[in-house]
Amino acid sequence: MPIINLFAELADEITGWRRDLHRHPELLYDTTRTSAMVARKLEEFGLDEVVTSIGRTGVVGVIKGRNGGGKTIGLRADMDALPITEETGKEYASENPGTMHACGHDGHTAMLLGAAKYLAETRNFYGTAVMIFQPAEEGGAGGKAMIDDGLFTRWGIEEVYGMHNSPGLPVGEFAMCPGAIMAAADMFEINISGRGGHAAKPHEIVDPIVIGSSIVTALQSVVSRNVDPLGQAVLSVTQFLAGTAYNIISETMVMRGTVRSLSLEVRDLVEARMKALVPAIAEGFGGKASVDYSRNYPVTVNDADRTEFAAEVARSVAGEAKVNAECVPMMAGEDFSFMLEERPGSYIFVGNGPTAELHHARYDFDDAAIPHSCSYWVSLVEKALPLAGVTLYRSCHHTGLSTVIARRNPGDPSLSASAVACWIARTKPGNDDGECGRPEAPRRLPYFRPPNAR
Ligand SMILES: [Zn+2]
Ligand SMILES: [Zn+2]
């Protein structure tokens, strides 16, 4: 049965987990209820190892494929919500006032749990799949906290994969691109000081609002005149704070904003230009200004080979027409960037249909996306860690029937030449109790090759 059909059967159960998480959103590192639920489910599914408190409230679940050995890959979901009052009016709406899963991390968590349940039951892979549930994606760098707690070294994770739902992309469709897919997201604060006084005596004061206004205008030139037109960046002033009354010129003012960029060079350039421009403008007006620039999430950079592989997996789930492997990057930031700085991997978008945008009070995760995303996860594991072993079987010339006598994975000690010889000896003519009593020697074929094997 195609995996997607199987997940259609599991979808109600996974939707139940998703809606439960949605009712009980938690912020940043305070995901105690969510983490406990995730750990409890992973234990129930019979994972080989479930470890809590990695990166404060992060949870790690380990699923070993058949016979041990092989490569180790990580799949990551985020668990935290946002400080937004929900306006969806859904029956599963947030019961936690002022807090809402408005970025769909409830869906991400539930879908990775669904994949974990399937993988722990079937284990049709050779290697180890590590389920990573991180807190504090929304600005708290919970992914980095998990790395700092030894996430990659403790479990020997060699590659790492992530996904995010995407409003506007139809349900059942996938999008990704090699290289930068999400922006570096930095913050700045500009402090301006002038000389305050009576609004009727402008000749006796240095007006910080005039300085600030000139700075806002000048900052527009950084992206339009300094950054290469092909190197994307955004510089937005989002707060402009000064003054106490209509007739007082204030002494100081504060301006805050954000810078987003898709490469380290552009990031460095924007910071340098701001630090050159801002004090010079203030001085020109007889005031002073300084830039406090803080770098937050780095650029999320997809490894080209792993992203082509992720696209192949998505095509196997959704079909060629529903996968855009050259999507346009988003200028939002993503904590998964820290993981991709440590290990190669790929971060993709999965369709969430025509809902309100992420971080909006009427955003709604579409549960119809669950079977598609779960199928992507398990197909990714089964394809990244293939069971490329051999099947030993014998077939009968007379009945045409094949009988599987052994399946072996690479790394299995019983796959040595002498072990294979032993299997052959045990099934040589005369020792056989096969279908018609006239067997032939067993042959080695790739897994699951004989369609009529019993
Ligand atoms: Zn978000
Ligand atoms: Zn998000």
Distance from the alpha carbon of residue 346 to the mean position of ligand 1, in angstroms: 18
Using a CB cutoff of 5 Å, list residues around ligand 1, an ion.
103
Kindly report the number of other CB atoms within 10 A of residue 436's CB atom.
11
Evaluate whether residue 368 is within a structural domain. yes
pLDDT of residue 294: 96
Residue 108's pLDDT is 98
Closest ligand (CA of 78): 2
Same domain for 29 and 111, yes or no, is: yes
Residue appearing with tokens 């909006």: 360
No. of helices (H) and no. of strands (E), the chain = 11, 19
How far apart, in Å, are the Cα atoms of 435 and each of 405, 423, 428? Answer: 13, 18, 14
pTM of the model: 0.82
Same domain? 350 vs 214: no
Report CA(166)–ligand 2 centroid distance (Å).
Answer: 9
Q: Could you tell me if residue 451 is inside a domain?
A: no
Which pLDDT value is given to residue 387?
83
Output the CA 143–ligand 2 centroid distance in Å.
Answer: 12
User: Ligand 2 centroid vs 127 CA: distance in angstroms?
Assistant: 29
What is the whole-number distance in angstroms between the Cα of residue 334 and the centre of ligand 2?
7
Joined tokens for residue 192: 């301006």
Instruction: Kindly state whether residues 199 and 270 are assigned to the same domain.
Output: yes
Q: How far is the CA of 260 from the centre of ligand 2 (A)?
A: 16
Cα gap 415→408, rounded to integer Å: 6
Domain assignment of residue 452, yes or no: no
CA of 190 to the centre of ligand 2 (A): 28
Shared domain for 211 and 169, answered yes or no, is no
Same domain, 336 and 418: no
- Res 392: pLDDT: 57
Residues 156 and 200 in one domain: no
Tell me how many domains the chain contains: 3
Q: How far is the CA of 44 from the centre of ligand 2 (A)?
A: 27
11 and 159 together in one domain: yes
- The DSSP call for residue 413 is G
Q: Which domain holds residue 403?
A: 390-446
pLDDT confidence of residue 422: 41
pLDDT at 418: 44
The pLDDT averaged over each successive group of 10 residues in the chain (454 residues) is 76 97 98 98 98 98 89 98 98 97 98 98 95 97 98 98 98 98 97 97 97 98 95 94 97 97 96 98 98 96 98 96 97 96 98 97 98 97 83 55 56 48 43 40 40 36
What pLDDT is stored for residue 407 in this prediction? 57
Please write the tens of the pLDDT for every residue from 5-48. 778 889 999 999 999 999 999 999 999 999 999 999 999 999 99
What is the per-residue pLDDT for 66?
A: 86
